[in-house]
Structure 1
Amino acid sequence: MIRAATPDDVPAILAMIGELAAYEREPEAAQATEPQLKEALFGPQPAAFALIAEAGGAPVGFALWFRNFSTWTGTHGVYLEDLYVRPEARGDGHGKALLAALAEICVARGYARFEWSVLDWNEPSIGFYRSIGARPMDEWTVFRLTGEALHNLAATSRVNGA
């Protein structure tokens, strides 16, 4: 069963984020807190949304996503930040069901794109994504600015009151 997350799901989502970070070999990188996640998902201006995969009444997976925008198509899209299914529930169709639910959101809302990133060593996921018709954007490279570099660039801003 796939359903929209509720505030009561925040502890389970946070636990699964930790499990995902461990799987992706960066357990120390998962630093979000329950209050941060609750505000991001359920605050007055949600920045992100989540779906829950359930089996036997318990959360076994989640998809956390947010809207992006394409200037080329002039429409919003969905960016999937995290997709995770607990090891004991893998192979039961939960991952595909979460992706199908997000694809349905895109189609119903007239969004043109559904995108996500995957680590290049994660061959099981890459194979799965290819099997549902997703294609890698080989000509694109993801860039990230964090920490000191982010602060250094911000210090050069000429915008007042940003």
Structure 2
Amino acid sequence: MTAVRPVRPDDLAALLALIADHAAYERAAPPPPDLAERLAPALFADPPRLRCLVADAAGTLVGYATWTRDFATWTGRHYTHLDCLYLDDRHRGRGLGRQLIDAVIEAAQGDEIQWQTPVWNTDAQRFYERLGARPAEKIRYTLQPH
């Protein structure tokens, strides 16, 4: 049985492993070596700056979703930014992604939810479109401070 629940401090090592797998899956740079020290204060503050739910399969974390609440200039409203949604590939196709996204929808308390996925990730695009989500075409840029 798999449960979707809030992340706990004792989950941090397993969450970091999932994050590293997620970065590799998305063909991104690996997480920095001090990620635990960066994430822990954001995840476990009161209130947390970064919210996280995990998919727990009999004591083994097999997925996670993270999000923040932000404010949109154009609408003058809060929205929920789904930063990450990831499931170990051995646990996909079992409804866990839907359980995670449904839990985020509930936590968003009526806010619009926005997220992104790589253009090559057609499996994710099909999943999101089955939920009723529609793509918004934009190009994401990143800028590192000097």
Aligned residues: 143
| TM-score normalised by L of structure 2 | 0.89
Matched with 1:132 is: 131
Name the structure with the higher helix share: 1
C-alpha displacement of 1:44: 5.2
- For normalisation by structure 1, the TM-score amounts to 0.81
- Which residue, out of 72, 76, 84, partners 1:82? 84
The one-letter code sitting in structure 2 at the alignment partner of 1:55 is A
Shift of 1:19: 0.3
User: Match for residue 5 of structure 1?
Assistant: 7
Q: Quick check: 1:57 aligned with 2:92?
A: no
Partner of 1:41: 43
Q: Judge which range, 11-20 or 55-64, deviates more.
A: 55-64
2:31 partner amino acid: A
Aligned to 1:101: 103
- Please list every run of 5 or more consecutive structure 1 residues that lacks an aligned counterpart in the other structure: 152-162
1:128-153 CA distance string (max 9 Å, x none): 11111111102x3222211xxx22xx
Look up the SS of the partner of 1:141 in the other structure: coil
1:18 aligns with 2:23: no
Counterpart Cα distance in 2 of 1:116 and 1:77: 11
Task: Supply the distance in 2 between the matched residues of 1:101 and 1:52 (Cα, whole angstroms).
Answer: 10
Unaligned runs of 5+ in 2: none
Distance in 2, Cα, partners of 1:91 & 1:4: 22
Q: How far, CA to CA, are the matches of 1:130 and 1:90 in structure 2?
A: 16
SS at match of 1:73: coil
CA distance in 2, matches of 1:129, 1:116: 10
Q: Which has the higher contact order (CA 8 A, sep 6+)?
A: 2
Q: Report the identity percentage.
A: 38
1:144 is matched with 142
